[in-house]
Amino acid sequence: MYSKQRNSKAPKQFTDVNVANDKGTLRLQFSTRISQQFYGKRQAYKALGVRKDTPENQQWAEGIARRIQEDIDYQNGVNFDRN
């Protein structure tokens, strides 16, 4: 399994969407704030349908997470499609 290594010099910012590994399968993990606001539960996850946690798949999943984060950030989530 590959794990996401963070650069210690990179600026730390709060994100509502993270890429997580669940038994080798990549998924999106939403913050508690977003999970409660849009899904009505404490913690929400969305499977990405990717079976292998490889550097290429991690990069692909992080791109999806960034785009979703942009939708959440724009006018308090008006562009966010929770499905």
Please check whether residue 2 is in contact with residue 53, taking contact to mean a CB–CB distance below 8 angstroms.
yes
Backbone angles phi, psi at 45, to 5 degrees: -130, 150
List pLDDT tens digits, range 4-37.
Answer: 554 444 444 568 999 999 988 999 999 998 888 8
User: At 62, which amino acid appears?
Assistant: E
Non-local CB neighbours of 67 within 8 Å, separated by 6+ positions: none
Tokens representing residue 51 in the block: 């079976």
pLDDT mean over 27-49: 91
Please check whether residue 73 is in contact with residue 80, taking contact to mean a CB–CB distance below 8 angstroms.
no
Q: What's this model's pTM, rounded to 2 decimal places? A: 0.72
User: At 27, which amino acid appears?
Assistant: R
Tokens representing residue 68 in the block: 């979703």
Query: Given the structure tokens 């939403």, which residue do they identify?
Result: 30
